[in-house]
Structure formats: C-alpha cells, structure tokens
C-alpha cells in the first residue's frame, strides 16, 4: 500500500479514503486511466467540500466535536450494508486485524477529522488542510529517525520545499499574528494521518478496502460518542440555519454534504480510483483536494488565503509531489 522509505502512496483520508489494502491482485491488473482519472478527481472534489461546509456549522455555533461525530456516524450508517456485504466469509480476517482496524478508526477517522475541524475554527480551510498534508513529510522523518532509512535527494528537496512553503503559509516572514492553537490542531491532524498510514500498511490483504473503511467509520463513531459521555468531546448544537454562499439554509444541508458526499461517497470513489489507477497515481491526483478545498471555501465562505499563503501552498504541494515522485521510482 505504501512506500516504506519515502511517503504513503494512498489517497489521503480526512479528510481520506481507505488505502489500497485487500484489493484483489487480479483486479489491480485492469487499469482504466481515463475513467480512473475522472473518478479520482471526483473523489478529491468530494473530500474538498468537508472543510467549507463543516466550518459553516462551526461558525453557526456548532462544536467541532458534534460536527465530526455526526459526520462519521451518518457516513458509517450509509456504508454499513456495503461493509457487511464485503465481509461475507471474511470475519476471521477482520478479527486477526482487529487492533489495526481499531487504530485506524481512532486515528485516521476520529482523531484526524476531529483535529482538522478544530483547526478550521482557528485557521482558514486551506491553511488547515495544508498543515494536515504535511503527513508524508512527517513519515519520512519518522522512518529516518526510527529505522535509519535516509531519504534520497529528491525526497530531501521535496521536504525543503514543503518546509519553506509552511513558513509562507503561516506567514512567519510577514509577521502576521499566528494562531498557535489552530496550528497545533493542524499538526495534530497530520500526526493522526501518519498513524493512519502506518496502521493501514499493516492490515492483511484479506481485509477488503470497503470493510476497512466501513469498520473504521464504525469504530470512530463509537469512540466519539463514548468520549462525549466522559466530556472529552464537547457536543454543542448551534444555530438551526447556516449561511452557505450567501444563502440561508437549514443545518442538515451542510451535515449531509460532509457525511454523504465528503465521507461515504468520497471513500467509495477513492477506493474505485485506486483500483483503476493504482495507489501511486491516485495519490498524485488526490493532491488536487487542496485546490478544491480552497475553491469551495471561497465559494461557500468567501474565504481565500493571502497571496503569500497561496505561494506557500504551491510550494507545499510541489514538495509533496517531489516526495511522492521519488516514491514512485521504487517497484511495487
């Protein structure tokens, strides 16, 4: 699923669809590049709606905890039947990989999304997502420190670009007031995404992608509801109406968008894209999620990064492209 030396080659979650685990080897040989490219772009666009539509609820007084909990719960219910169908005759494989699946649900689903939506309460949607997208760079650093796997020159160049881009996104040079809380939440989302990739890489091929995605959503939903009982996750309901693109709409409209479109639909199309394009190619296309997220934030919230931040975003995406291009040089 991932390249253990450089960066994950799966489509991001969170933002993120399930990685290419459990795919039928025979199915992987049948590529449909043109159709797969369209499906991958549709998936990236679907994921890109989550920040803007979710933030519209948060601006209306809804707590990030409630937004994420409802999003994951609805998405889990939507994918429940497909998940059960995918698991027919494979319950043993799910039990064998129970720890990894639970960890995936706690980090990649619940933790990553909770941290991201907390980040967008303090930062713009685009900046929060770019911070989360630093996950591949963090993985390279972890493998370098933990396993002494020194990255190659192209990867190091990509990391350098990403770091410079991060400084511009945070507008450190311009002396802008930095919302440290938002930055920490964004980096927490990146750390959760790192754990998601590392855990997903240890799931057996016997576990279908749909089962991993659906199982992770169920685990994430249960964990968030239990956390709300203890008070660890705050569930506060805000206004019954929100403003989207200058129009006043009921609260359930953005909720359905982030749950059905940006979660359930995006997971399924992301898996389909990986099957048709392969994980490495699909991971490159998935970077367009940043562009879609900025576009939707502009259309829905009239929110646009500053020119300096846009330049920084380009450098971060360019750095990630370099890292993943280096990963694509390896076989498998």
CA 20 to chain centre: 15
Tell me the average pLDDT of the chain: 80
User: What does the pLDDT average to over 311-329?
Assistant: 78
The answer to whether position 172 is within a domain reads: no
| SS3 annotation, 214-249 | HHHHHHHHHHHHHHHHHCCCCCCCCCCEEEECCEEE
Contact 13, 208 (CB under 8 A): no
Q: pLDDT at residue 13 above 50?
A: no
The answer to whether position 129 is within a domain reads: yes
Angle between helices 125-132 and 307-328 (to 10 degrees): 30
Q: pLDDT at residue 57 above 90?
A: yes
Q: Which residue has the higher pLDDT, 329 or 194?
A: 194
Termini Cα distance of the chain: 9
Span of 37-41, 44-48, 167-171, 310-314 with lowest mean pLDDT: 167-171
Q: Tokens at residue 280, please?
A: 């490495």
Q: pLDDT at residue 84 above 70?
A: yes
Contact 196, 216 (CB under 8 A): no
Q: Tokens at residue 107, please?
A: 């980090």
The answer to whether position 287 is within a domain reads: yes
Contact 111, 192 (CB under 8 A): yes
Domains in the chain, number: 1
The answer to whether position 144 is within a domain reads: no
Q: What is the pLDDT of residues 141-198, one digit of tens each?
A: 777 777 777 778 888 888 888 888 877 777 655 555 568 899 999 999 999 888 877 7
The answer to whether position 306 is within a domain reads: no
Q: pLDDT at residue 54 above 80?
A: yes
What sign results for the dihedral spanned by CA atoms 99, 332, 276, 190? positive
User: What pLDDT shows up at residue 200?
Assistant: 66
3-state secondary structure of 250: strand
Neighbours of 201 (CB within 10 A): 16
Selection from 64-78, 255-269, 292-306 with the highest mean pLDDT: 64-78
How crowded is the C-beta side of 152, counted as CA atoms within 13 Å?
14
pTM: 0.79
The domain in which residue 196 lies consists of 33-133+180-292
Neighbours of 91 (CB within 10 A): 10
């Amino acid at each position: 699923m991932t390249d253990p030396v450089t960066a994950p080659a799966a489509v991001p979650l969170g933002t993120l669809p399930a990685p290419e685990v459990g795919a039928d080897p025979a199915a992987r040989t049948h590529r449909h590049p043109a159709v797969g490219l369209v499906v991958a772009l549709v998936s990236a666009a679907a994921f890109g709606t989550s920040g803007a539509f979710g933030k519209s609820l948060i601006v209306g007084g809804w707590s990030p905890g409630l937004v994420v909990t409802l999003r994951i719960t609805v998405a889990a219910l939507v994918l429940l039947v497909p998940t059960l169908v995918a698991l027919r005759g494979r319950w043993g494989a799910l039990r064998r990989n129970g720890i990894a699946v639970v960890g995936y649900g706690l980090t990649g689903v619940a933790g990553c999304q909770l941290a991201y939506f907390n980040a967008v309460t303090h930062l713009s949607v685009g900046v929060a997502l770019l911070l989360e997208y630093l996950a591949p760079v963090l993985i390279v650093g972890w493998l370098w420190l933990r396993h002494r796997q020194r990255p190659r020159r192209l990867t190091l160049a990509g990391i350098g670009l990403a770091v410079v881009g991060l400084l511009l996104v945070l507008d450190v040079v311009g002396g802008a007031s930095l919302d440290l809380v938002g930055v920490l939440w964004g980096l927490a989302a990146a750390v959760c995404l790192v754990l998601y990739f590392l855990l997903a890489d240890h799931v057996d091929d016997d576990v279908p992608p749909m089962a991993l995605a659906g199982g992770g959503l169920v685990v994430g939903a249960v964990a968030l509801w239990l956390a709300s009982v203890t008070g660890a996750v705050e569930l506060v309901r805000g206004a019954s109406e929100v403003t989207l693109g200058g129009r006043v709409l009921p609260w359930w409209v953005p909720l359905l968008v982030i749950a059905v479109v940006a979660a359930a639909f995006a997971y399924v199309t992301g898996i389909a894209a990986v099957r048709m394009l392969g994980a490495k190619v699909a991971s490159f296309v998935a970077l367009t999620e940043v562009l879609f997220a900025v576009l939707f934030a502009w259309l829905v919230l009239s929110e646009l990064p500053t020119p300096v931040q846009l330049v920084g975003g380009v450098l971060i995406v360019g750095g990630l492209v370099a890292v993943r291009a280096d990963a694509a040089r390896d076989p498998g």
